Amino acid sequence: MDDNNKGLSRREFLKRLGLTSAVAMVELSPLSAITNNKPEKPREPNANNMMTYRVHRKTGDKVSLLGYGMMRLPFKDRQVDQELVNAEVKYALEHGVNYFDTSPHYVNGRSESSLGEALKASGFPRKSYYIATKMSNFGEPEWPMEKSVEMYHQSFKQLQVDYIDYYLLHGIGMGSMESFQKRFIDNGLLDFLLKEREAGRIRNLGFSYHADIAVFDHLLANHDKYKWDFAQIEMNYVDWRHAKEVNTRNTNAEYLYNECEKRGIQCVMMEPLLGGRLAKLPDVYSRKLKERRPDDSIASWAFRFCGTYPNVLTALSGMTYMEHLIDNVKTYSPLDPCTTDELALLEDIATNLAAYPTIPCTSCKYCMPCPFGVDIPGNFAYYNNCINEGTLPPTEETAPDFKEKQAAFVAGFNKALKPSELATACTGCRQCQSKCPQRIRIPNQLSRLVDLLEKGNPET
């Protein structure tokens, strides 16, 4: 559909695909799955923890299979709740988590400083954990070299470190190949970062990928030149084979993972819960998982899926709340890999989930802040929850339960968001459009939500 169209046609339901045969998987022990070397004692202050570690083949780093993503920090009184962040980071370190992922872009620029403060407050020595941050020089058509280098040096100050363990070119593919050239090649920035790796201020250099597959393929084709130390990709049991069904601009994780594995590039996994959607499934699927493992959370299945693949170095989770952290630590302490039968079950669930008409938002908030105050991820999350729970109003206004469900839908929207944050505040300015890694037509989707809301407004 043309982005300039004011209206939005009803999204067609995706065709449900038949269950494909699951990849035959051999159950793997935490470390022997990754390396033929005899497992060494993890470089971790708490030597008695049961956390599963993966060995970085180049450096020998023993990285916790659970990585802490610092993109969804807890808030209190509209400020980062630093006291809670400190407590969560300390708990993570005490229980074997040693990989922390941040960016100058996250939490409106507050993530790096918050992580730096939390790590310092923890009392754990610098050598006991690994910090990953990024060159987040996107959002503008032109990005001067000087501004990018300034961002790079600022990361060291915010994190209170003199070297960075894992440094990424952030969101390659979010624009075109032309955009990548401008961000990293034409201005000499990638050459600068390669020299910083040689100098040891960057210990490992990689990239995170979204959207345009041409950029991903280009970087892997030039692996001999750049010698990537790792790559960060979006992977979960839906995106494994159904990413393109959910959003035609995405690439199936199976392809991304396999291409990296061919070249010996280990993967960092992002969005294992698909923006939280795989932590709360429709009841029919939740029951199937609970029948198999009644004591495990629904979210744990998604993390076990990622951990089952041996080329995964660490799986990132944006653990806002302590209970999420505790549950994820439990899942990987130690990892119980998915069996072939369990992988087949997850593929069956993924096939069905791909047919749901949800909006493929992962709540990354790259589109925020909206200049008109719309909480874009909040609107999409409420709508998706209604889809998953079966509470969306019928499309036909003549349906017997239309008025009841429509009233409940509108009331729930008004309870979940402030009036100024609703989709109705969208002006269609499209400033958010180019920032979305999932390439969602955000104004069009917001327009669709407005239509749903106005059906329940007697004044319209």
Query: Is there a contact between 64 and 52 (Cβ–Cβ < 8 Å)?
Result: yes
Residue 80 neighbours by CB distance under 10 Å = 18
Query: Is there a contact between 7 and 447 (Cβ–Cβ < 8 Å)?
Result: yes
Which region among 19-33, 34-48, 306-320 has the lowest average model confidence (pLDDT)?
19-33
Give bridge partners of residue 169 from the DSSP assignment: 135, 207
Q: Any idea what DSSP says for residue 6?
A: S
The end-to-end CA distance of the chain, in Å, is 26
For the record, the structure tokens of 345 come out as: 């079950």
Query: Is there a contact between 115 and 70 (Cβ–Cβ < 8 Å)?
Result: yes
Task: Please compute the mean of the pLDDT values over residues 258-270 and round it to a whole number.
Answer: 98
Which region among 222-231, 313-322, 333-342, 388-397 has the lowest average model confidence (pLDDT)?
388-397
pLDDT digits (tens, 9 = 90+) for 234-258: 999 999 999 887 676 789 999 999 9
Q: ∠ at Cα 220 (217, 223), nearest 5°?
A: 155
| Percentage with pLDDT > 90 across the chain | 58
Query: Is there a contact between 447 and 8 (Cβ–Cβ < 8 Å)?
Result: yes
- Alpha-carbon Rg for the chain, nearest whole angstrom, is 22
Place of tokens 């909480």: 375
Q: Phi/psi at 189 (nearest 5 deg)?
A: -65, -40
In this prediction, residue 418 carries a pLDDT of 85
* pLDDT > 70? residue 456: no
CATH topology of domain 53-353: TIM Barrel (3.20.20)
Q: What residue spans define the domains of the chain?
A: 1-16+357-460, 53-353
* pLDDT tier, 152 (very low <50, low <70, confident <90, very high otherwise): very high
pLDDT digits (tens, 9 = 90+) for 193-212: 999 999 999 999 999 998 88
